[in-house]
């Protein structure tokens, strides 16, 4: 098993970014993407007074992280939920507002490392890719049943795949002979379908298609679009949010939500900007922060990470 799965990405920077909010008495922090609990454990250790609420849609991740966090007893509340269900979770727990929120988006190391989950293109496995295996349809069903036009749209929009049409033509041709069930067959098909020039750049040629399928299967971008604004709304004044993204589509959503919160909404030309139009957020990062070279050398999965942070400076004024 890879050692990378034990190394939370940009951990020190995330802790430092959240620290001013979590050192307040009675602070509550939400880890919206618990995974194996690396970030959560570090939060509980660094801030001994903090209460943690941690969400994950993957039941196996919750079980493993639960064992890891058991020494912290009632300070940690683990919930089986997708992160866009944050408002309902807080409501159910009777928590009106929180002091810190952390998102570590994308696929957890555990999901990549467990071969039978079908996330990794480097090993043959059933084409599943569901983060919560108790619900929804897997990647094989998407490949075998979606109309060609819809598959092209997914590969272009979610995988930024320039060769989408060529790959989908090959998929449609092959699925008529025999439905797709495993990842190796799909990887081989993509290799055969792409022109030589396209195979020479950007790593494994199947990478973008696998990303696109994973995002579609788990409705990831829909969840991020709902979850990040909901998390900002849940923050108390002085509360802070840190978001780690691993691909440009997610990072763009986070950037837009933070930029909108940090901008005035006043009509142009007002001599004095009334309170209700004032920015609600202060940005804590200039653009997106990247991992250090040392961190990437230690943990290759940190390489594509982009970190953005913001602080809540005002209540919403109706």
Binding residues for S-adenosyl-L-methionine: 37-39, 56, 83, 104, 111
Residue 282, sorted as left (phi over 0), alpha (psi -120 to 50) or beta, turns out to be: beta
| DSSP H or E stretch at residue 28 | strand 28-31
∠ CA 262-264-268, rounded to 5°: 150
Spatial distance between the Cα atoms of 39 and 16, rounded to a whole number of angstroms: 12
Spatial distance between the Cα atoms of 29 and 285, rounded to a whole number of angstroms: 20
End-to-end CA distance of the chain: 52
Spatial distance between the Cα atoms of 287 and 141, rounded to a whole number of angstroms: 38
Annotated binding residues: 37-39, 56, 83, 104, 111
- In degrees rounded to 5, what are phi and psi of residue 234? -75, -15
Considering only CA atoms, which of 182, 211, 179, 206 is closest in space to residue 193? 206
Considering only CA atoms, which of 243, 245, 229 is closest in space to residue 280? 229
**In the sheet that 98-104 helps form, which strands lie side by side, from edge to edge?**
76-80, 51-56, 28-31, 98-104, 235-245, 306-312, 281-283
- Please list, in sequence order, all residues whose beta carbon lies within 8 angstroms of the beta carbon of residue 137, skipping any fewer than 6 positions away: 130, 217
- In degrees rounded to 5, what are phi and psi of residue 97? -155, 160
DSSP state string for 88-102:
HHHHHHT---EEEEE
Query: Do 235 and 99 meet the contact criterion of CB atoms below 8 Å apart?
Result: yes
Q: In the numeric block, which tokens belong to residue 149? A: 């036009």
Burial 39-72 (b: 16+ CB within 10 A, else e): bbbbbbebbeebbbbbbbbbebbbebbeeebeeb
């Amino acid at each position: 098993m890879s050692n990378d799965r034990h190394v939370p990405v940009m951990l020190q920077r995330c802790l430092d970014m959240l620290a001013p909010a979590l050192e307040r008495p009675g602070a509550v922090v939400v880890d919206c993407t618990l995974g194996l609990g690396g970030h959560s454990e570090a939060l509980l250790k660094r801030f001994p007074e903090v209460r943690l609420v941690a969400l994950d849609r993957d039941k196996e991740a919750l079980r493993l992280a639960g064992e890891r966090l058991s020494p912290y007893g009632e300070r940690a509340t683990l919930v089986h939920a997708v992160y866009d269900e944050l408002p309902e979770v807080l409501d159910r727990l009777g928590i009106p507002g929180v002091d810190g929120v952390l998102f570590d988006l994308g696929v957890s190391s555990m999901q990549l490392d467990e071969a039978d989950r079908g996330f990794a293109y480097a090993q043959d496995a059933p084409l599943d890719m569901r983060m919560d295996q108790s619900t929804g349809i897997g990647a094989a069903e998407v490949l075998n049943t979606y109309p060609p036009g819809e598959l092209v749209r997914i590969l272009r929009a979610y995988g930024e795949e320039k060769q989408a049409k060529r790959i989908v033509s090959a998929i449609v041709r092959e699925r008529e002979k025999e439905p797709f069930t495993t990842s190796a067959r799909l990887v081989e098909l993509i290799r055969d379908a792409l022109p030589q020039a396209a195979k020479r750049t950007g790593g494994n040629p199947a990478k973008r298609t696998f990303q696109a399928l994973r995002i579609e299967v788990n409705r990831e971008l829909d969840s991020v679009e709902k979850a990040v604004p909901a998390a900002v709304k849940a923050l108390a004044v002085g509360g802070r949010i840190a978001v780690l993204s691993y691909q440009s589509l997610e990072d763009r959503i986070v950037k837009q939500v933070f930029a909108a919160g940090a901008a005035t909404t006043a009509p142009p030309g007002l001599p004095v900007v009334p309170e209700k139009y004032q920015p609600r957020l202060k940005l804590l990062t200039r653009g997106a922060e990247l991992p250090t070279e040392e961190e990437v050398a230690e943990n290759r999965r940190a390489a594509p990470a982009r970190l953005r942070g913001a602080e809540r400076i005002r209540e919403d004024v109706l």
